[in-house]
Structure 1
Amino acid sequence: MKKILLLLCLSFLVPKTYAQEYFPNNESVQNKNTNFTAFTNAKIYVTPTQIIEKGTLLIQNGKVIGAGATITIPKNCVTINLEGKSIYPSFIDIYTSFGIEKPKEITSTERNPLYDTKRVGYYWNESIRSEVNGYESFKYDPTKAEELLKAGFGVVGTHVPDGIAQGSGMLIALNNADKSTQLLSDKITNHFAFTKSATTNQSYPSSLMGMMALLRQMYFDLDWYKKGNAATKDLSLEALSNNEKLVQIFASEDKLNSVRASKIAKEFGLNYVLKGIGNEFERIEEIKKTNSKFIIPINFPEAYDVSDPYQANQMELKDLRFWNQAPTNLKVLSDNGIVFALTTDKLKKVEDFRTNLLRAIKYGFDTTKALEALTTIPASILGKSNEIGSLKTGSLANFVITSGEIFEEKTIVYENWVQGSKYVINDIMVKDIRGKYDLTVNNTKYKWTLDGDIAAPKSEITSVDAKKIKSKLTIANNWISIIIKPNDSTKTSFTRATGYIDDIEKISGKAILFNGNEVKWSAVKTAPFAKAVDSSKIEKNNMILPTTFPNVAFGTVKKATQQTLLFKNATVWTNEKEGVLEETDVLIKNGKIAAIGKNLSDASATVLDAKGKHLTSGIIDEHSHIAISRGVNEGGHNSSAEVTIEDVVNSEDVNIYRDLAGGVTTSQLLHGSANPIGGRSAIVKWKWGASAEEMLYKDQPKFIKFALGENVKQANWGITNPTRFPQTRMGVEQVFTDYFQRAKEYDLAWKTYNSSGKKGKGKAPRVDLELQTLAEILNKERFISCHSYVQSEILMLMNVAEKFNFRVNTFTHILEGYKVADEMKKHGVGASTFSDWWAYKFEVNDAIPFNGPIMHNAGLVVAYNSDDAEMSRRLNQEAAKAVKYGNISEEEAWKFVTLNPAKLLHIDDKVGSIKIGKDADVVLWNNNPLSIYAKAEKTIIEGVVYYDVQKDEAQRVAVAKERNELIGQLLQEKNKGMITQEPKKKEKIEYHCDSLEH
């Protein structure tokens, strides 16, 4: 069996060498047809834009010899008259797993986490599978090929869709008649994705940010390896190097992930073809900026059955909206100049491809663009334009024959020829006899109506007085048979008529009456076929609802823009030496605070009456986990310093809008606390409707998350036998000491290399993103924000830091900070804590609500943070607790959520107070901001109003109206008999420090 499989693989690798073994050319066994075949009088689409009316297509030996209006037909030629029919190039799908067996997933008994690979000679991470070649496991699937052939496809690209670096893909002709020519290219594409391999239980990476970090490290390692720096051979990197000239395809599977993949491509000078998911229209501006070509599926969601109002209420507006807007994706991409090919990927049934494509065309997608996306564009992406995708001379004879325009619903696809081999979909010889006739059988007259499908029309015969006559019609090879049973006859009285369809205007033949007499019959057409239309079932385009920024509830139809604003007579909490100013004006201009005083004026400003209201700087949340995609923890290793939250900011999380409603303008998005050394953080401004890149704080200080305590030693993971180091608090200290020593040595190696004059020459140290990040801490270029609880560990980390000559920047949570505030003061560390959380796990038992005020009174910079999506919306009330529990002044308490976190984040020169020249990140409150009755009326970032309470009220009405409109559309779909799916409530994950991806 193994030998047979090996020979099969070799037959694909070297098809010419092994062709005779499998497909003998001995004339006694097989006669190869080398005749010319000419298809005449057809409308020929040589390319989507080069069309020949009444043309001839000439093929020989599986290739196009010529196509034109004046082609000379040679002798020894089979001629096929295709008058009234059209010829198109067969379609190409460059993203499939055709003929590839799904990789076997590891069993539940094998799922104990693996930290180091057991593979020898390959890359250290088992999700990097660049050495895998599609042809090694390929097995041609004739049944699946037939499905694709029926849909019009002649060529497919296929690969093994497993892992992050998935290896090479091949190109296959769907030629069921000649196996020897099926393989067009054994290696043509190189594949990547944001997915772990299903075949490994290696714990890293466990998050999207980990996958992005791994890809970066892989490319750095590839560059280092190619320069000959490695001591041993790495088959994964070797394959990656060998595949560099192949077409690089990245399955991003989401609009935001497309932007993320593009980011990596730009960093390393790559050119990914991005395989999307169908939601690209929602972020078309960002998609355009990738400058990438795309592969787009058209698996539109089925309508939801919203007849049960309780189930319907579980649906999020964005999902209802996506159902409505998804059919416009191809039009939007095309209108914006995005070059893309189409794929059958993600479809439940290949036969749905045509249905969905016709629906996209109905919603405005141009038919010429559609044909390009299936022929010339995929061929061009693969660099195979001279072989496939057109009917130019020399191309493979891959084409479909249709009854008319290929993208018209009534058009019949007759045949799909691949490499000159015919695959019959519908009988091309069947004549269309549908219509109305006067039927005469032995001088008895009837009315005869034929409708339905061409190949199997439905028959209805009535008497001259309109009484229905029982009858049965059969057609085969243009021979027609009718059995007629007159209403006044006995049970066994039948008339049997038969005839050959020669002239569809008049059909005739012979009939045998019930008494055995032979007579003549004829049918003369009186009216052509007109498809009956049930007006109640006419599928009209649904009204498409406008896309918003972002395309979720409370998104805006237009992006918010910067304004000049003048607040008059406000109570201004400056957070500066001026304190709280009564009846004061504040002018915002060009995104900055331009003036503070009384009786200010500016002719260009929108004036806002703030009398009786309070104007403050925006709240800053030092510790947040909202708006993060696919994992807040990269817990696969005990150090993940190489990952960054900046890669995975989710700009569409509704918690952003909710934070704005609570007056929050800036947050630090922190890695979780699954490991002692976590990932790098992202400082963001909540610019609702903007891209993730636009939300990132410009030139932000560098931060990283560290953690201590129960989480990092896996005390609360719920795993019966945790296997990852460390598992004790002693082990946590050793992790820090070990990694900082390694980082110190790494940093020294690079400094020595760079200062020795060898830069660019000789063997360079290997770039290690993890150690590089830790070296930045040693060089005082990156700050630590450390998750902490217990006083002994707090002291421990400060000792480790001082041993390596740096300082911890912030202890976050720090619920036993009141015990060691004096030591923290000496070290120079700040504190970001909870106001009154306590006893939610064992190491929090000693927490007290006086913690923040005690540390503040000891001279520490103290902030209150959320670490929680719900709490971040009411941090103003959290600040008020410092007044209640610590007798802190209102002004100082307010700084706990504004100026103090700005100081901890080293951005207090730009935000955190109302001062001329600072960013115009301000909030207008209807009451004292520390009051439980206070509501944010306007939240402004850099002069742009991102939240307005009055607009919010209007949006709530608009959201309800939109839901009703969409539910009405969905109910209509069900009433039409369309396929529907059950509404499903999506459980939204709200990340906390200890959240783990599964």
Structure 2
Amino acid sequence: MKKLLFLLFFLSLSFSYAQDYFPTDAGVKTTENTLTAFTNAKIYVTSKKILKKATLLIENGKVIAIGKSVKIPKNAKTINLEGKTIYPSFVDIYSNFGIKKPNRKTSNSRRTQYEASREGYYWNDHIRSDVNPLKAFSFDSKQAKELINAGFGVVNTHMEDGIIRGNGLLVALNPNSSDAYRILDTKSAQYLSFSKSVTSLQVYPGSIMGAMALLRQTYNDASWYANGNMKNKDLALEALNANKNLVQIFKTSNLLDAFRADKVGDEFGIQYTIVGSGDEYERVADIKSTNANFIIPVNFSNAYDVSNPLLAQQISLRDMRKWNQEPSNLKVLAENGVNFALTTNTLKSVKTFHKNLQKAIKYGFSKEKALAALTAIPANILGNTKIGNLNEGSYANFIITSGDIFDAKTTLYENWVQGSKNMVNDMSVKDLSGNYMLSVNNKTYDLTISGKGAKQTAVIKLGDKKIKSKFSFIDDWISITLNEDSGYTRMMGQTINAANVMQGTAFDTLGNETSWSAAKKVKKQDKKKKNKKEKEEPIVVLPVSYPNLGFGNYELPKTETILIKNATVWTSEDAGILENTDVLLKDGKIEKIGKNLKARGANIIDGTNKHLTAGIVDEHSHIATSAVNEWAQNSTAEVTIEDVVDPNDINIYRNLSGGTTTAQILHGSANPIGGRSAIIKLKWGENADNMIYDNSPKFIKFALGENVKQSRSPNGTRFPQTRMGVEQLFVDYFTRAKEYDALKKNGKPYRKDDEMETLAEILNGERHISCHSYVQSEINMLMKVADRMGFKVNTFTHILEGYKVADKMKEHGVGGSTFSDWWAYKYEVNDAIPYNAAIMHNAGVTVAINSDDREMSRRLNQEAAKTIKYGGMSELDAWKTVTINPAKLLHIDDRVGSIKEGKNADVVLWSHHPMSIYTKAEKTIIDGRIFFDRAKDKEKRLAIQKEKSTLINMMLNEKMNGGKTKPPMIREDRNFECDTLEELKN
């Protein structure tokens, strides 16, 4: 009998190979699309509606009935799924499935491309709303198999190229069908991003703020076109208007870009669905306030290899925190009521999707919400009721599992798409995984089986010694071969008692026949699991600070009533310096100045032997921004630094430590007419919008000289190339602006042009110019052009030859914002002298000392002191160059720049004389909120050291327990200067 069993076993194997139905781990089996009933299953109709012992009836790719009492037609094929679970197949609505990104265009030409290369389309190649991905779509069976194996049934795909990228395709991952059937929607969404197209070398936009400006202008032009105001046909604008009612899906690469996209959408009444980047937990309240739907990747960083202590020191706290905090992102979003779907986007391999999602669940993300984020929510975002659920009439897209889909031990058996079966793991193969006691030849071995389906493997030990062995489980037959010193032992057999016991026939190395058996060690396994669970350390997620890096605030400073007593007060007003004086700050304002002041409940600060000044105002800075130059056109008045304020820049905190409270963040000097400014308060921890001044005065950056004519650029081909060309450019643009403004004021229809709108504001005295300048001839030139065209220059910044034309500056009414002692760093500053500021001041020009540098901006107090040495300015006048004078140049002197009752409570308490090299800012206060406190700064430094040690130990533990690690990375801070040119990515 035993020999007969052995013969039957090998005959069955031979037959299996002959018929080619040997089970594979992810084979696709073509089945006829017939009436099929799946019975006795636990069915998730949706994430909230769950049926037990229920029946799912499908026909022709659709669900025709579902419930506990479904009447099964006689001609239906019935599949008993007792003990199994059915879920709706997953939906990924951000994908490039089946659509290859176009090849990157290259050129050997040294000339820069400024014009568009497509005729009959929009003036900018990166607006590609006309792209129809259907033309490029080719069903990718290999990629489809990976997605099917992960549980996905539908993807929303698109051409991942350009700023406006065209429409999307909704595709069922049905490898057993044709495109005509599996493409569910040829216009499922419209896609956008901040990345340029790889098919064009057109340089504009060259920055993130340029991309935002281009989007705004495109929407303006689309509206103008829709009203029939353009003579020429524009296929891109036609497509944009045709797609305007589709879901608008916007791809972003970081948290700040998500807010920037939402800002543009809000301006035009468009609610984007935003593809996030996994760092939304850092500003979840602001994410919530966008009211946007989000699509969130499930892609987590590996721990750093911190085994080398010297290299570990170089890793920023911000990057260490990211590894620790980002697995909690989904939980945080869900708990804060943000509506989001999940995507496989950014994953190197779809195979890691479930592992990462299980990690997120371990960090507290609800399984119910996870299922909703993979089914109902993406379907609802697209407005498609036929996917993401198993209601009657929906597509028969569902997965069959051994249990909880989000449990690591669950096996996904089949994924049915449009009623077509795709086998992932053979359901007929039993799960033998577990620990067994194997008995054969009077020996007892430890047998451990792991894996799923036909890929189950085994490890066999005798005591502590691992035995060489081979194991296979095919068609319910078990085959084991042991290779020991005594020879080979071959075993075959089957399972009984629901796989808790295995038994069969064994043959030793001499061919002697005996029996073998293996019993599952159920009790010991449960005990080990229990002990392991008890030993598992709780997950520790470190708290988020604002911003989420070293020196961030765990709670934002609150407005206090503060009474500073007995200080030496530098008013920067006619009152001059007041000795032993009290200053009361209340409700964010300077309430009272005097002696022996009292205030109930006030935070009293002793200012004895200390100096109190207004916060320093930096008229020219490039900190706290994500971009500085939109260099790709000679006039970029349409862009604004307000779009790219970066509240995470550590230089904000460093500037506070040097007493700076306000800064004008200027566009760079890459073009004659640059971008608009952002005037911000350095409110460390606030979001970008809350840093920008309310009712902020309007400014724009102009530039003259070497930078704009591209003197040091070997490939510079843009007009102008000479200083006289710069003059002509100003004349040309303001002539156009006058014509534009006249047309607008006449009430006639006009095409809104954001660039011309800005220049018209200058003509109407609504926007002020801060101009980068060096050489006296050009300074004279711009004042003459301004007089001729009817506008004023507000400030000449740098102005190192200002001493030569101070009288003319006074006559024109322009101020000077200069360096104290910079010179000889390029040709056009060869005539700079350290007496420049004093000479302009003595001529009656309003003079400020600016930084234009992230380091100098935290020691402007010392830069002001240099005007005393060079030029003999008084202490009071010297101090005004960094307080009230720059405030006057920025038209905010009614709010800040001096200590005066009614002004904003922006003050600094210094340990010594404010211009001493020994002084330190002890407290920097903005709007009555203490944003820098030197005593707390010391506490923060210790806390950072302690937190890094905690994270290093956590990472070491991760590595010791077999987790993946990556090499240490040093984060380099970007240092933006006037001539910094960054490139917007393709």
Match of 1:751 among 745, 751, 771: 745
Describe the superposition over 1:834-856 as per-residue Cα deviations: whole angstroms up to 9, x where unpaired.
00000100000000000000000
Distance in 2 between the 1:875 and 1:526 partners?
75
One-letter code of the match for 1:310? L
CA drift of 1:457 comes to: 4.7
* Superposed counterparts of 1:125-140, under 5 Å: 125-140=124-139
1:738 maps to: 732
Distance 1:236 1:460, change over 3 A: closer
Distance 1:807 1:281, change over 3 A: same
1:91 maps to: 90
Distance in 1 between the 2:728 and 2:464 partners?
96
Match of 2:481 among 467, 471, 483: 483
One-letter code of the match for 1:745? E
Describe the superposition over 1:542-595 as per-residue Cα deviations: whole angstroms up to 9, x where unpaired.
421110011111111111110000010100011111110000000000100010
CA drift of 1:620 comes to: 0.2
1:575 maps to: 572
1:589 maps to: 586
Describe the superposition over 1:35-75 as per-residue Cα deviations: whole angstroms up to 9, x where unpaired.
31111111100000100111111111111112211111111
Distance in 2 between the 1:210 and 1:969 partners?
42
Distance in 2 between the 1:485 and 1:731 partners?
87
One-letter code of the match for 1:833? T
Describe the superposition over 1:230-265 as per-residue Cα deviations: whole angstroms up to 9, x where unpaired.
011100100000111111001122211111111111
One-letter code of the match for 2:963? M
2:244 maps to: 244
Are 2:525 and 1:530 equivalent residues in the alignment? yes
* Superposed counterparts of 1:206-217, under 5 Å: 206-217=206-217
* Superposed counterparts of 1:921-940, under 5 Å: 921-940=906-925
SS at match of 1:530: helix
1:388 maps to: 387
Answer yes or no: is the 8 Å Cα contact 1:403–1:412 preserved in 2. Answer: yes
Distance in 2 between the 1:461 and 1:671 partners?
69
1:22 maps to: none
Distance in 1 between the 2:483 and 2:887 partners?
92
1:601 maps to: 598
Distance in 1 between the 2:483 and 2:188 partners?
63
* Superposed counterparts of 1:577-976, under 5 Å: 577-629=574-626, 631-717=627-713, 719=714, 721-753=715-747, 764-976=749-961
1:374 maps to: 374
1:996 maps to: 981
One-letter code of the match for 1:473? F
CA drift of 1:523 comes to: 5.1
CA drift of 1:604 comes to: 2.1
Unpaired segments ≥5 residues, structure 1: 1-29, 755-763
Answer yes or no: is the 8 Å Cα contact 1:433–1:450 preserved in 2. Answer: no
2:26 maps to: none
Distance in 2 between the 1:956 and 1:438 partners?
57
Distance in 2 between the 1:114 and 1:941 partners?
46
Q: Report the TM-score when normalising by structure 1.
A: 0.92
Distance in 2 between the 1:790 and 1:467 partners?
85
CA drift of 1:623 comes to: 0.3
Match of 1:986 among 971, 974, 984: 971
Distance 1:477 1:831, change over 3 A: same
Distance in 1 between the 2:458 and 2:898 partners?
83
One-letter code of the match for 2:695? D
Distance in 2 between the 1:343 and 1:310 partners?
37
One-letter code of the match for 2:733? Y
Distance 1:61 1:597, change over 3 A: same
2:553 maps to: 556
CA drift of 1:712 comes to: 0.3
Describe the superposition over 1:491-535 as per-residue Cα deviations: whole angstroms up to 9, x where unpaired.
4x6444344768534544445565556666555656468376696
CA drift of 1:277 comes to: 0.2
Moved more, 502-511 or 920-929: 502-511
Q: Report the TM-score when normalising by structure 2.
A: 0.93
Describe the superposition over 1:350-394 as per-residue Cα deviations: whole angstroms up to 9, x where unpaired.
111111100000000000000000000000001112x10011111
One-letter code of the match for 1:530? Q
SS at match of 1:284: helix
CA drift of 1:689 comes to: 0.6
Answer yes or no: is the 8 Å Cα contact 2:425–2:452 preserved in 1. Answer: no
Counting matched residue pairs gives: 951
Distance in 1 between the 2:41 and 2:167 partners?
39
CA drift of 1:886 comes to: 0.9
SS at match of 1:823: helix
2:142 maps to: 143
Distance 1:537 1:257, change over 3 A: farther
Answer yes or no: is the 8 Å Cα contact 2:704–2:726 preserved in 1. Answer: yes
Describe the superposition over 1:147-166 as per-residue Cα deviations: whole angstroms up to 9, x where unpaired.
11111111001111111111
Question: How many percent identity over aligned positions?
Answer: 57
CA drift of 1:431 comes to: 1.6
One-letter code of the match for 1:983? P
Distance in 2 between the 1:435 and 1:583 partners?
81
Answer yes or no: is the 8 Å Cα contact 2:709–2:721 preserved in 1. Answer: yes
CA drift of 1:807 comes to: 1.2
One-letter code of the match for 1:878? E
Answer yes or no: is the 8 Å Cα contact 1:162–1:195 preserved in 2. Answer: yes
One-letter code of the match for 2:636? S
SS at match of 1:716: coil
Distance 1:809 1:34, change over 3 A: closer
1:75 maps to: 74
CA drift of 1:975 comes to: 1.2
1:504 maps to: 499
Describe the superposition over 1:408-455 as per-residue Cα deviations: whole angstroms up to 9, x where unpaired.
12111111111111111112111234456676769x575563432353
1:3 maps to: none
2:43 maps to: 44
One-letter code of the match for 2:857? S
One-letter code of the match for 2:449? D
One-letter code of the match for 1:939? T
CA drift of 1:988 comes to: 1.8
SS at match of 2:878: helix
CA drift of 1:123 comes to: 0.5
Distance 1:528 1:141, change over 3 A: farther
Distance in 1 between the 2:128 and 2:862 partners?
51
Describe the superposition over 1:74-120 as per-residue Cα deviations: whole angstroms up to 9, x where unpaired.
11121111111111111110001111112211225257421111321
Distance in 2 between the 1:904 and 1:313 partners?
43
Answer yes or no: is the 8 Å Cα contact 1:191–1:249 preserved in 2. Answer: yes
SS at match of 1:187: coil
Distance in 2 between the 1:454 and 1:68 partners?
30
* Superposed counterparts of 1:53-68, under 5 Å: 53-68=52-67
One-letter code of the match for 1:957? L
Answer yes or no: is the 8 Å Cα contact 2:411–2:452 preserved in 1. Answer: no
CA drift of 1:126 comes to: 0.8
Distance in 2 between the 1:626 and 1:461 partners?
63
Answer yes or no: is the 8 Å Cα contact 1:618–1:663 preserved in 2. Answer: yes
Answer yes or no: is the 8 Å Cα contact 2:432–2:450 preserved in 1. Answer: no
Are 2:368 and 1:360 equivalent residues in the alignment? no
2:11 maps to: none
Distance in 1 between the 2:920 and 2:445 partners?
78
Distance in 2 between the 1:448 and 1:818 partners?
92
Distance 1:472 1:828, change over 3 A: closer
